[in-house]
Structure 1
């Protein structure tokens, strides 16, 4: 049960290419770097004030880590086809954006406007990555768009037909 797209085949949690009880990771380097860049960006954000006093250097480092993750996920997803690798892929893809959203709210509540730009970049890059893969998995959103169009068209038709006549 794979959906073929331009990025490669990426199964969801419950899908498995071979139903063996033994879980092997055939692409450990891809899995490692997928999680490495994501967690490194989060860890670097948490400790950036201790690591460097330069705000620009911290911002550039975090954006480079997130960009490297973006590229790694794009290239690495072509080879991730086993169930265990798929779980690592989707967990990393879903959990890390949640951290960046949490950082965004904590930055807003602390009125730390200086680091808000970094956090917004983290949110945008991580959610764009997640959105792209979810959209590829669902099928480009054409079914959802057609359903919404049909629903709103039907509602408009009902309003026109049921419109009471004016005396």
Structure 2
């Protein structure tokens, strides 16, 4: 990937998440965003639990597959678009500019900005973001050794969706520093699956 732009950290660019009095009240709370904290863990934990117990309630692989993929998709969307911004002030997304080039943007809100989640919420965010891909990786090996090949597609989908958010937020956390590409992204680039999009780092 090629870095083509770097937003000047001296610029005071902020998103308006409410007035300062409300922000201070939120920061005094132990978990000021309980719904966001709940959603951050609910879908990913529900997907794992469903994967473990689905065979007990249904012998249909198709119904299990659809249910778990739906939970994983809801998790991916909520973590990418809601909980990362609310709990830790990070955001990443892709956009197509006017000349048709794909741009990956990774943003981190300044530490001085009010309305950000507490340290407890940050721990919840990173714990859920890191531990769940590890669990799905464990599922990969157990499924591989048990020769349940038809479940491998589901497990690989879970790993991919979980790692995508983890990778995106690690790039945000890096604060504009170049992060070595993972072996997966290197493979995709080598296969021309990725279009080598440009990367822009920003400050919320």
Match in the other structure for 2:147:
111
Match in the other structure for 2:200:
none
SS in 1 for 2:66: helix
Conserved? CA contact 2:41–2:128, under 8 Å: yes
SS in 1 for 2:85: coil
What stretches of structure 1 of length at least 5 have no aligned partner?
A: 10-17, 146-167
Match of 1:93 among 129, 152, 172: 129
How far has the Cα of 1:51 moved from its partner? Answer: 2.1
How far has the Cα of 1:143 moved from its partner? Answer: 6.1
Conserved? CA contact 2:171–2:179, under 8 Å: no
How far has the Cα of 1:110 moved from its partner? Answer: 1.0
Rg comparison, structure with higher value = 1
Q: Deviations over 1:16-63 (max 9, x none)?
A: xx9xxx870000011011111011000000011112222111111111
Match of 2:86 among 74, 79, 82: 79
Match in the other structure for 1:55:
61
Is 1:45 paired with 2:81?
no
The 3 A distance-change label for structure 1 pair 144 and 110 is: closer
With normalisation by structure 2, the TM-score equals 0.58
Distance in 2 (CA, whole Å) between partners of 1:140 and 1:52 is 47
What stretches of structure 2 of length at least 5 have no aligned partner?
A: 1-8, 16-23, 88-116, 182-204
How far has the Cα of 1:77 moved from its partner? Answer: 1.8
With normalisation by structure 1, the TM-score equals 0.70
Q: How many residues of Structure 1 are paired with residues of Structure 2 in the alignment? A: 129
SS in 2 for 1:78: helix
Relative to total residues, which structure has the larger strand share, 1 or 2? 2
Distance in 2 (CA, whole Å) between partners of 1:103 and 1:23 is 37
CA RMSD of aligned residues (A): 2.5
Moved over 2 A (4+): 139-145
